[in-house]
Structure 1
């Protein structure tokens, strides 16, 4: 990493900035969250972090330690009391319309998945808590006044949940990934071609699955890719769906249609919110008019940086992060922004002279990072091409 480039780093991050926060030191809390087993009735919750004990007979989860904190919420490692399984519990305070919108988008995306995928983080359940009452969330639950108030808050952009002294929280219970994020995993180990190849296959499979299910992630970056090592080998998990978009009406996963047909539909769904993180944003995202192909561009940046260990220093957290860029004098500029300024620019892939990158991967990365989204493969084509490249290798 060029320290001069780091000193001159220009970093402009969109709405994902509110959700970014470095992991803090562990803090034992040993408090419990209790959730009822039905969806349409209210239940007590023995809360964490300052809530007094309520009438709870069988707490479902015990919070063990805090593993991450940001303006968006707090993440804990927890254990399910009945099975002993470790889980991650994310606590989101819904005290402002923008926070409600991020929380609901994550819930809608994960709740819309009818099938599991090994490389997408699994939502076990989501609980809505207001004051001393907790209720398990279900998508489109018209019987729950609290759920409808959340939706109304998001749509109107103004608080309709009641006075600020009555806090409202969403608790996401998800699988726990003990291996940290992709940045931590890659940069703490020696380069391993076999791991790189496995990760490329896993990432392309995950994005293809999401697009087949009409979900555009919109914030793919190494921070949002977690690692599970429970199986003995590292398994990637795409996570953090707060900026995701479920493209309703453009294909239905339950209809059994051919995946390629559904993928074509999602790439006709135009989005207009310029969101994401600068170094992974496609050129068209900077302009605020894009499709699911923006995820393909972000994935290309991640894979390129992972293979050549290209990093920069984040100006806010001071962390070293995986990410490729273009050098303009003393500045380093995100690839998407540089391509927007000069669409005919030819990217120098691979960037390092002594690179072990194969010709197949090099060509694939060039296509994934094309200025024109129509020149990029869609997620289904990308998965097939990556399989071919790995087989050839």
Structure 2
């Protein structure tokens, strides 16, 4: 079988190459993938978890966690971001940021998220684009709430996120430089936000993160700016694409939609199944720190290693009928939020809460929603995203 797991045009046409990934899991689970540079493609669940949980062997810091190769000056800047750090520095930073994502803090948002969903669903009728009218606004409203930012800023956040994530998609930014420009705009926005909160503290995550912790430690200015950048992208893109990909999954599996309509309480397990099925983040990169063996392959120090969550989440050695969309699946040990370890998604509880409430309310209020046009996919091998999903409501 011809193997090409990174062709962006392929993803834009059909999404993740599940047939290739299934073949690799069965025949070459740690596979040398040609490229410039070549890399090890890790496709089985257990191997992806192993890489994820051993930062000392598979570094996010050496050459970053993103797939593309960057210039040294860009790498130096990106290393300041938590996503691209290893313990112990990552552990210190995460402990500071965790203060804003405690279960109590997230749980307090439930009614607010329900109100947001109801408000969004009040406004949609007839033929609409599910992505821009429902899936995208939900996490943007929530991010504005977390940051204590005006709701009217959501369009700026949407634009910045699209330009950074969609740098290889001509609809958003046809050059990486435009994506970098968006990042600089987010830095400036974060600086302005921090200055406002230092002058006028409020009961929000920004104020909390700018205050010293119990040990007197605080986030430095560039650390705070990069955290806001990460929140704008990760907190928006993953939930948006899980929601839109989940809606498409229901259209493709109408029996599962009928189950949810008959019992909206299934939204709790449906949220996890949507994340498993869609795998909004397709891959992350690590760099081997030593000569080692993984999946029977000899990996050298400094080799590029890429884990594929979209593959691991359909590994039939872990998931019975892994190629079946089942909203009642339980247990569901998916790794759509990462394979554990240092980089397990900070906002996983928030994302699942948003998805649960959204699909619960959709099933209750719009049981007859149906697809009215072909979806358009994002040209990205990193994010499994939809740019457009026409639906009819009412």
Same fold (TM > 0.5): no
TM category (shorter chain) comes to under 0.3
TM-score (norm 1): 0.25
The answer to which structure, 1 or 2, has the higher relative contact order (CA under 8 A, 6+ apart) is: 2
- Relative to its length, the structure with more helix (as a share) is 2
